[in-house]
Each structure stands twice: as structure tokens, then as C-alpha cells.
Amino acid sequence: MKTRKTALASLATAFFAAGCVSVQEIPMTGASVDVVRGRELSLSVRDKPDFGAMTAGKMAGGALFGALGGAIAGSAMVSAGNELVAQNAIADPAEKIGATLGATLREKLAARPVAFRTRLSSDEVTEVTKAPSGMDLVLDVRTIGWGFVYFPTSWSKYRVIYSARARLLDARKGQVLAESGCAMPVADDADAAPTYDELLANGAARLKGELQKAADYCAGQFASKMFSLTLVAAAPSSATTEPPASAATHQLASLRPQPAAAPTAEPRPGSLPAVGSRWSYSMRDRLFNSERRQFAVELAATEGSSTSEVFSVADEQRRFSAKGDEMGFLVRRVGGQRVLELSPYLLAYSADPAPGTTAVTRERVTVPAGVFDAVRVNIDGERAGYGPERGIQRFVYTVWYAPNVGRYVQSRHQFFNRRGEGSGDEWVELTKFEAPRAR
């Protein structure tokens, strides 16, 4: 039995180690502190990492069937763990750590916060230099491994495991100014540890509490080791947990119009654009490397929450009307082109989408028309297939709204066939915005 338990524990350790990334210990020097002081600071945003739910049953099955069994067991743990995270709206502790460290740097080093976040998808330092122009400092906190595992001496009891890495990046120079790693001390008292059911009872309250402790611990470690600072409490968030995408969509569906902007002014955040505003876009399917197609939209009239727009493709024009305060997709067909839009005037209504959820973040985005601070909304859903691809098919629609132009500046529509293969990747980008006075 001892040999078997040792084998299972080794498999669990190997599984967590597989998610590790390179970590260096780079504390800030006095000179680098002076370089940072007073500069703009953006927090990174990353996709939520896989969560490992390691039960004794899954591990035993993996150990019995060697390397193949271990791979299958690991896949099952991630699948089960991710499902638990989604069902219980469990937030990535990296979000809390980043907010706490950001508040500390603002207080102690006079770092200036910005209203957007920087999306990162890799660990390459050069990625941050490719971010939109004007980026300054980026605080990147990444969860390396998180999950729970049973005690090897008491298979009915569980302990939470968490590790993370933090980096302060200079986006201008592509340099790491400070970096450190953190691993929450692992509980060693099986008698005081929770059972599986206790860990996940009441919406996984015990698990969330343990992850909160991990976030507090690592935030303190990073502040001390990287910056030689003590923590300052972050401002409380309006949303402490991540609702499912469907809940975020529901939140955005109840909107009230704000007064229209003056006819000769550029759009104000929280107001409808002026009648006569015009947006020019290019559209291209990057999966099939299609040619760019151009179309333009002019706001012809508004009445209450109703909008009337003129879509132009080459010499052909069509007028479309819609209710601006209703959340949903709009399909426009002009000149042989089909344009899909999601509530194009979303930011003209009082329900400001809350950042920090899976569905909504703030980012700076670069398109041919310029660089914009934008609200990014992501919807992952299903649609009915047609033709030879009948059946339910998955799609992902992402759109970036910019308050200062009154409409979206970029959208991406990915769709997949019933086998999960990509069947389209349509990008729409703003190429020009014209306010009535400018025209």
C-alpha cells in the first residue's frame, strides 16, 4: 500500500509540475524604483488557467495503467476541475493579487492607473512591446498551478495547492524590471483538512476561502520580495466572483438611453453619437486569407432608443432600423456582403459593462483608424448549422467598443463546424471615424 500511495503522490506532483513556467527572482533596485515612479501602470489580463481536481479515484486509475493512464487521469482532472470552476464561479486568484499589488504600487511609488488592461497570451517579454503604442508599465500576474489534491495518508481529506508568478514589465523597452514566484504553503494536518464534499459545499465556499488566503499570501510575498514594500488594500470590486457568460449577457441586456450628444461634437461616453456620424470599416476572413472588403455606416436618425442607419457598400446603400437598447446580434446584408454586429451602440446606455469578468475586460486596441481605449466583450455560444453542416455548431464573437467614437472599433467572429474545426475567422476593423463637424 505504501508503494502504491507513493506512486499516486508522484503522479499528482508530476501533474502540477507540468504546468510550471520559468520564474526568476529579480528584486527592484533603487535605480529601477526611480525609473518606475510616476509612470502609467496597466494590469495584465489572461485566460483562466486549467484547474486540477485530483481525487483519489482518478489518480488510482491513472497509476494502474502506466503513462497512458496517467495522461488520461490528468485530462480527467482538468476537465472536472474546469467544470467545478465554471459551476461555482471561482475567480482566478491572480486577479486579486494583481489588484492588490497595483494598489500598492500606486500608493507607494505614485504609479498612475489607466482604464484599460493589457491582454497577454504568452510569457515572451517581447509580447508586451507589440501592445498598442502608448503602453508604459505592465504588471503581469499569472497563476502557474491551482487545484486541490487528497492527502496521501488520508484519501478522504483534501488540501488546496496554489502557485503564481508576478512580473513588472517595461513595455517601452521590453524589459523585466522585477519578477518573483510564490507557492502557498501546503497544509500538512489531515485531521483539520476538509473532505471533498466539505470543500465544495455552499458553492465551494471553503475552496474559495482557501484560494483567497493564497491570493493574500502571494500578494504579500510579491510586495516584499519584488518591491520591498508592505501591502496596501485594493479598492473593493463590484463583482467578487465571475458570473457565467450567460449571466454577463443578461446584465448587458437591460439598458436605458442617455441624452444624445450635441450635433457637432464627437460622441461622449454614455451618450448616443450625433446624427451624421460616419464609421468606415474593413472586413476580412483571416482563416481563408480573403480580400479586404469595405463598408461604411452613417447614423441617419435617432428617436428615443430607436436608431436608423445607412449602410454603404461601393455604390449600393440600404437603411436599417433597430432598437439600440436591446442586446442582440444584428445581421446586415448590403451589396452581396453580410455584416454581423452585436448591439453597436452598447456604450450609449447607462449599464456600463463591469470589467473583471470572463465576458468583459478593458483593453487598448490598435486598428487602422488609430489606438483606442476600449471595452472588450466576449460571447461564446452555439448556433444551428445549415447545408452540409447541420447540427449545433460553436461560435465565439468578440467585440471592442470605444466610447470616444460611439461605436465598436473592432470585432472578431470565429465559428467552428460540428467536428470542432475552424470554419471562419472574420475580422472587422474601423478604418476611419468622421464626426459631423469634421465632415
Strands 337-342 and 360-367: unpaired
pLDDT tops 50 at residue 131: yes
Q: Are 311 and 317 in contact (CB under 8 A)?
A: yes
- Higher-scoring residue by pLDDT: 280, 355: 280
Rounded distance, CA 179 to CA 153, Å? 36
pLDDT of residue 250: 31
390 to each of 155, 338, 393, how far by Cα in Å? 46, 20, 8
Q: Three cell numbers at 396?
A: 465565439
Q: pLDDT tens-digit profile of 22-73?
A: 788 999 887 778 878 888 888 888 888 889 888 765 444 343 334 433 433 4
Q: How far is CA 391 from CA 343, 387, 425, in A?
A: 26, 10, 20
Lowest mean pLDDT among 3-7, 89-93, 145-149, 330-334: 3-7
Q: Are 296 and 312 in contact (CB under 8 A)?
A: yes
What mean pLDDT comes out for the span 137-156? 89
pLDDT at residue 48, rounded to an integer: 87
Burial class (CB in 10 A: 0-12, 13-18, 19+), 412: middle
State how far the Cα of 42 lies from the Cα of 90, in Å rounded to an integer.
Answer: 24
Torsion sign across C-alpha atoms 216, 220, 226, 232: positive
Residue 346 CA to residue 349 CA, distance in Å, equals 6
Number of H helices, E strands in the chain: 8, 18
Q: What is the pLDDT of residue 52?
A: 86
Yes or no: say if 360 and 248 are a contact pair by the CB < 8 Å rule. yes
Q: Are 36 and 111 in contact (CB under 8 A)?
A: yes
The Cα–Cα gap between 17 and 161 comes to 12
pLDDT per residue as tens digits for the range 296-350: 999 999 888 788 999 999 888 999 888 777 777 888 888 788 888 988 988 876 4
- Cα 56 to Cα 9: distance, rounded to the nearest angstrom: 10
Domains and CATH numbers, the chain: 2-239 (no CATH), 247-434 (2.40.360)
Q: Is the pLDDT of residue 253 over 50?
A: no
> What does the pLDDT read at residue 152?
79
| 232 band by pLDDT with thresholds 50, 70 and 90 | low
Tens of pLDDT, residues 158-167: 999 999 999 9
pLDDT in tens, 80-114: 888 888 888 899 999 999 999 999 998 888 888 87
Mean pLDDT of 6-33: 61
Helix (H) or strand (E) holding 11: helix 2-17
Q: What burial letters (b/e) apply to 274-301, b meaning 16+ CB within 10 Å?
A: bbbbbbbbbbbeeeeeeeebebbbbbee
- Indicate the SS3 state at residue 135: coil
The predicted pLDDT at position 167 comes to 96
Provide the CA 47 distance to its chain's centre, in angstroms: 5
pLDDT single digits (tens) 164-196: 999 999 988 888 999 999 999 988 888 999 999
**Strand partners for 158:** 150
**pLDDT category, 439, cuts 50, 70, 90?**
low
Q: What local confidence, expressed as pLDDT, does residue 331 receive?
A: 85
Those residues whose C-beta lies under 8 Å from the C-beta of residue 202, and which sit 6 or more positions away, are none
Q: Distance (Å, rounded) from C-alpha 365 to C-alpha 43?
A: 15
Distances (CA, A) of 312 to 333, 335, 337, 362: 10, 8, 10, 30
- What confidence tens digit (pLDDT) does each residue in 378-429 have? 887 776 655 455 555 778 899 999 988 999 999 999 888 777 778 789 999 9
Bigger pLDDT: 64 or 143?
Answer: 143
DSSP letters, 301-344, are EEETTEEEEEEEETTEEEEEEEETTS-SEEEEEETTEEEEEE-T
In the chain, % helix, strand, coil (3-state, to 5) comes to 30, 35, 35
Q: Quote the DSSP letter at residue 187.
A: P
CA dihedral 4, 8, 11, 12 (to 10 degrees): -160
